[in-house]
Structure 1
Amino acid sequence: MEDIAPKKSELKRSCVNCGAELLYAPGTTELVCEYCGYQQQIEAPEEGFRELELKPYLDQLGSQSHSEMITMLQCKNCGATQHVEENYKSLHCVYCSMPLIIEDQYREEWILPGAVLPFQINQEKAHQIFKKWVDGLWFAPNNLKKAALDPKHTKGLYSPYWTFDAQLDASYTGQRGDYYYVSVPYTTTVNGKTVTRTRQERRTRWTPASGHISGFVDDTLIKASKQKSGQIPLKIAHWNLQLLKPFNSSYLAGFVTEKYTIPLKDGHLESNKEARRIAERWACRDIGGDTQRVSSINMKLSNETFKHILLPVYVSAYVYKGKRYNFFVNGQSGIISGQRPYSFWKIFFFVLAILAVLTVIVILMQQ
């Protein structure tokens, strides 16, 4: 029989006073008991960030010392995989709000996170941001608030990302463009007479360019999960990675943790595309001039390392008149983005009002 004892990343923390589960308090480095108020400091690991050498993981598909088994539930509707916490026994999928069946839990290996960006705002604050946003929506149905503004629909999620570091070296060929201006004659009519004038037009003088560039590419961020729907919008997907902390599972207490579904190999391929874009920007900067063309670039990456990191986001999913809507709040900055329904009748009467005003204006102008 498979050993399903909890591993170090999913151990429940109990209050020493009353035995209740301790939960992470956003914006702090503490675990807090909701019942008696007991606080416990989260200790920082001595080893710091876990930057893992990339090649061994790619060669052996992650079967390394920094991997372990974790309990997961997969949403049959949207495909998201979520780690089961003790206080989420009646869990609904954070992305699509469909029920997750606790009997469907299974154990799966994952590469341990090397770092985590703890939540800086709590659920109440995220829900206030969400409520203010909904209140400010134009043409929203009147009963939208009843459907959307239940705090239980707003859940904190640690979303998985890969980060890649590498030493980049590249040689390039291209062209340097320098602007210059020439006087071009043209004719125009002034007081019924044709006159000739000149105007300045910009030209570009191109000269061949080549060279070598090198530098360190730090923390290329690649999304590590995908679902059929409910993707985190790019608008909120910006975090200050300087505030990353070495991974400690205490920061996960009270939140849902999503497991990566994009393999490390695929994430690495995506990071190579970003590294090439970075190399092209560096080449343009090295070429100089007013504008540049890069014809070819021969890039090499060395000393490649990676981290599996967890980033905070609040997700709200609800169904309104048979259609599902998602809202997202960045768990660090509080930036919000989401989908919303529109009221046909509000728009209809607004258009009628505009037409009525325009009609009155036309009538007044004709008098």
Structure 2
Amino acid sequence: MAPQTSDRQEHRFPCDQCGADFRYSPERGMLVCDHCGNTASMVDRPEAPAIAELDFKAALNQQLPEAETEVTRVLNCPNCGAQVEFDGVTHAKECPFCATPVVTDTGEHRHIKPRGVLPFGVDEDGARVAMNDWLGSLWFAPNGLQEYARKGRKMQGVYVPYFTYDADTKTEYSGQRGTVYHETRRVTVNGKTQTRTVQKVRWRPVSGRVARWFDDVLVLASKSLPQKYTDALEPWDLSALEPYSPEFLAGFRAEGYTVALDEGFETARVKMSRVIERDVKFDIGGDRQRINKMDTQVSDVTFKHVLLPVWVAAYKYRDKSYRFVVNGRTGRVQGERPYSAWKIALAVIAGLIVAAGVGYLVAINQ
């Protein structure tokens, strides 16, 4: 079935029985109408082309074909900076990332179209169960936190933007290879002669060249969520990426990227450098390695803009926002958490009582 689109490329998938909107169902892998129960198979859509890479330099020089860019309507969160796509009738909304009410003028954002999408594999109920289990495992969490989880507040399914980078690298290096050897020495201790074995390292200069092709170096293209939490949601099964199709977004939000393409590549270069350093050490060989210099040439850089699925819950506790994120494929949970001062105080008091009791028993026995 073909989507209905407006001049702003807003996609709707009306049910052919009742006219209500279809949504993509992760558990069923198809479009489902919550109003009448009608379904539509994803196989009815036209065959999508394979996911292709885009030229990095052409994108930086704004020379991509016009078909590779689009304009979407977004609202900007004044608190966390998220740019979240909205439909044509929404003018006020709570930010799914930090629970801040977003009431702002509508704006349009021109960006590179997504090439791939990793469909949700965990539905909202599954995500809530995973989050509740995670919250229940936290030590010293306030009761209000767990009560919030039990209330079953709606979680928001959001497709979060990422860039993947491919690159060919060739690195020339110089360094030193260390070979461990042992020497036996005689020492005198308290008038007695003893034999000791001392470990030493013999270094010699080396140089060489290593090459590596990097495929799909993943970089978060959003600043709305703490990277330490989104990084902890990895790994992502990128082999399951589907060519982008708006049907997968039915019933979900999609965040616009706020990290520039070249900025993302700098992050990718840091990740590449760590791998190249390991390659160089392996190439140096020996028992120990020292790297004095690495000169890396990067070529044939390509990229993709892809969307990965995250369930987001956010609430305010004592005027501070706390956010939880759930990997929409694996159910892995990460998030922020407050601490209960009185629970910590009770634990300290209980520890002191136990310590005092143990000390008293020891004293009696002595």
SS in structure 1 at match of 2:132 = helix
**How far has the Cα of 1:323 moved from its partner?**
1.9
Give the residue type in structure 2 aligned to 1:5. Answer: D
**How far has the Cα of 1:54 moved from its partner?**
1.1
CA gap of 1:161–1:107, structure 2 versus 1, over 3 A, is: same
SS in structure 2 at match of 1:284 = helix
Give the residue type in structure 1 aligned to 2:22. Answer: L
Give the unaligned 5+ runs of structure 1.
Answer: none
Question: Structure 2 CA distance, aligned partners of 1:277 and 1:349?
Answer: 45
Residues 257-297 of structure 1: CA distance to partner in whole angstroms, max 9, x if unpaired?
A: 11111111211222233333332222222222222222222
Correspondence for 2:323: 326
Question: Structure 1 CA distance, aligned partners of 2:58 and 2:217?
Answer: 19
Residues 285-333 of structure 1: CA distance to partner in whole angstroms, max 9, x if unpaired?
A: 2222222222222211222110001111111111112222111111111
Question: Structure 2 CA distance, aligned partners of 1:260 and 1:196?
Answer: 71
Correspondence for 2:80: 78
Give the unaligned 5+ runs of structure 2.
Answer: none
Task: Compute the RMSD of aligned alpha carbons.
Answer: 2.5
Give the residue type in structure 2 aligned to 1:355. Answer: L
Query: Are 2:246 and 1:249 equivalent residues in the alignment?
Result: yes
**How far has the Cα of 1:245 moved from its partner?**
1.4
Correspondence for 1:284: 281
**How far has the Cα of 1:199 moved from its partner?**
3.3
CA gap of 1:15–1:199, structure 2 versus 1, over 3 A, is: farther
Residues 22-74 of structure 1: CA distance to partner in whole angstroms, max 9, x if unpaired?
A: 11111553111112222222247432102111111111276743001111111
Correspondence for 1:13: 13
Contact 2:229–2:335 (8 Å) recurs in 1:
no
Give the residue type in structure 1 aligned to 2:177. Answer: R
SS in structure 2 at match of 1:100 = strand
Question: Structure 1 CA distance, aligned partners of 2:69 and 2:244?
Answer: 13
Correspondence for 1:107: 108
**How far has the Cα of 1:205 moved from its partner?**
1.8
**How far has the Cα of 1:233 moved from its partner?**
4.0
Correspondence for 2:52: 50
SS in structure 1 at match of 2:19 = coil
CA gap of 1:164–1:4, structure 2 versus 1, over 3 A, is: same
Correspondence for 2:120: 119
**How far has the Cα of 1:153 moved from its partner?**
4.5
Query: Are 2:95 and 1:98 equivalent residues in the alignment?
Result: no
**How far has the Cα of 1:89 moved from its partner?**
7.0
Question: Structure 2 CA distance, aligned partners of 1:228 and 1:338?
Answer: 10
Over the matched positions of the two proteins, sequence identity in percent amounts to 36
Correspondence for 1:40: 40
Question: Structure 2 CA distance, aligned partners of 1:333 and 1:202?
Answer: 48
Superposition pairs for residues 163-312 of structure 1, below 5 Å?
Answer: 163-188=164-189, 194-227=191-224, 232-312=229-309
Residues 57-113 of structure 1: CA distance to partner in whole angstroms, max 9, x if unpaired?
A: 111276743001111111122211001147977631111111223x62222211001
CA gap of 1:317–1:184, structure 2 versus 1, over 3 A, is: farther
Give the residue type in structure 2 aligned to 1:348. Answer: A
Contact 2:97–2:225 (8 Å) recurs in 1:
no
Contact 1:83–1:257 (8 Å) recurs in 2:
yes
Residues 219-277 of structure 1: CA distance to partner in whole angstroms, max 9, x if unpaired?
A: 11111111386874432243121221111121111111111111112112222333333
Contact 1:57–1:63 (8 Å) recurs in 2:
no
Question: Structure 2 CA distance, aligned partners of 1:181 and 1:343?
Answer: 55
Correspondence for 2:67: 65
SS in structure 1 at match of 2:7 = coil
Q: Decide which of 330, 351, 355 is 1:354's aligned counterpart.
A: 351
Question: Structure 2 CA distance, aligned partners of 1:46 and 1:340?
Answer: 42
Range with greater deviation from structure 2 (139-148 or 246-255): 139-148
Give the residue type in structure 1 aligned to 2:181. Answer: Y
* Matched pairs, number: 358
Contact 1:72–1:83 (8 Å) recurs in 2:
yes
Question: Structure 1 CA distance, aligned partners of 2:91 and 2:34?
Answer: 18
Contact 1:72–1:107 (8 Å) recurs in 2:
yes
Question: Structure 1 CA distance, aligned partners of 2:185 and 2:90?
Answer: 74
Question: Structure 2 CA distance, aligned partners of 1:25 and 1:88?
Answer: 23
Range with greater deviation from structure 2 (52-61 or 199-208): 199-208
SS in structure 2 at match of 1:251 = helix
SS in structure 2 at match of 1:107 = strand
CA gap of 1:184–1:234, structure 2 versus 1, over 3 A, is: farther
Query: Are 2:156 and 1:159 equivalent residues in the alignment?
Result: no
